[in-house]
Amino acid sequence: MGEDGEFCFTAAEPFARADVFLSGCMPDLTRSALKKIFEGGGVTVNGRACKPSQSLKAGDAVKLNVPPAEEYAVKPEPIPLDIVYQDGDIAVINKPQGMTVHMGNGNREGTLVNALLYNLDSLSGINGVIRPGIVHRIDKDTSGLLVVAKNDAAHLSLSKQIEQKTCRRTYFALLEGVLKQDGGTVTTYIGRDAKDRLKMAVVPPEKGKLAVTEFAVERRYEGYTFCRFDLKTGRTHQIRVHAKYLGHPVVGDPVYGIKKQKFALSGQLLHAARLELTHPKTGERMVFTAPLPDYFTAVLNKLKPL
């Protein structure tokens, strides 16, 4: 490694793609981090700028310039957190409804990241200055569990578990209407809504990413269904989009739900209730749970079971 974070490699054999070659040479770099380096012109082959898809010949000299780590631009804030579990590698947080996970779209303060920087002694730096420690996210108005990485090794392990679907996430939601089927699997492709770029939608395969959600009815009420959802993929707004696709949107959903709401809610009744993962260092299989928030149970208590 050179003084400016410069790494030099020689291809011992042909490779179909330069990014695949560098992933093998630099296993500690995530795909997203490597992609950013390519986009910034930080990779050359035989002295010339290189694209991720460029093929390599045996003997090609590949140079990778890793930019220095940026210091956090987000200020710590003394926001109380419900820390379900914490050790030197990970922290599991029960996020309240109404809290944005990280900066963006004008959110500079009051985010989970602001709170994490104050409450935790360390965070991974892989996701950059505005998302330190963030391995996965849940929507602002969705409550419940998410895991945070406290160092880069833990971040890589957790990211791999999510990619390989060994990190299991279970949600509970109250849906509009009475769902007829007891359970099943929704398999679609999700992408940006062609009419509203701020929304997601079920789209043709060539315009979206595969999204798979398993669901099971927990209890039926007059006009509503309490349902469990198990994520098999983690697309933006996946459960909310799939609930709408089933014809039974999540109660209180301001984006995908019905306009007239019976209950005075601040957001959708969707809660990340269970998180199962393998500890990055010990290899122990761990399960965390979080009870439904009070405002969620208050609505359920008002309903008449079928």
Active site amino acids: 139
- Measured between alpha carbons, how far is 269 from 253 in angstroms, rounded to an integer? 7
**Could you tell me if 296 and 187 are in contact, meaning their C-beta atoms sit under 8 angstroms apart?**
no
- Measured between alpha carbons, how far is 152 from 136 in angstroms, rounded to an integer? 14
Q: In the numeric block, which tokens belong to residue 210? A: 């595969």
DSSP state letters, 11-46: -SS-BS-HHHHHHHH-TTS-HHHHHHHHHTT-EEET
**Burial of 84 (C-beta count, 10 Å sphere; 0-12/13-18/19+):** middle
Length of the chain in terms of residues written: 306
